[in-house]
Amino acid sequence: MEWNYAAKDKPNSLKRKSMGHEEVDVPLHHIKRLKDINVNKVSKHAEEAKFVIEVAMETIEDKQNEIRKLKSYVNTQRRRLQSLIELNKHLHDNNLISDTVRKNLDVSI
């Protein structure tokens, strides 16, 4: 059994060689749940189906980790933006910057 792991041209698909040595392209963007996988369409052999499900589960876990990291990054950026806005307001309230400078900073933030 030979597997082709190089799906670089289509990152959202699973490219592999099936038991019959024909290359099969299984799109993963339609798969949101494991029950969405049509095992008969993907494979005629149990070990191939098991492999496809394992790869799909790994892909789902990777995407969940990526989403978690991106959410953390977005929250960090929101806190940073809020801090800059508060700093701008504080400087203006204490007459350390003029109205013109504050407006320019508001635009750049």
What pLDDT sits at residue 72? 98
Spatial distance between the Cα atoms of 28 and 33, rounded to a whole number of angstroms? 10
In the predicted model, what is the mean pLDDT of residues 22-43? 67
Q: What three-state secondary structure class fits 12?
A: coil
First to last CA, the chain: 56
Instruction: Give bridge partners of residue 55 from the DSSP assignment.
Output: none
Name the amino acid, one letter, at 86: E
- State pTM to two decimals: 0.55
Contact 26, 53 (CB under 8 A): no
Report residue 9's pLDDT band, with 50, 70 and 90 as the boundaries: low
Instruction: Give bridge partners of residue 23 from the DSSP assignment.
Output: 17
What pLDDT sits at residue 46? 78
Spatial distance between the Cα atoms of 88 and 29, rounded to a whole number of angstroms? 44
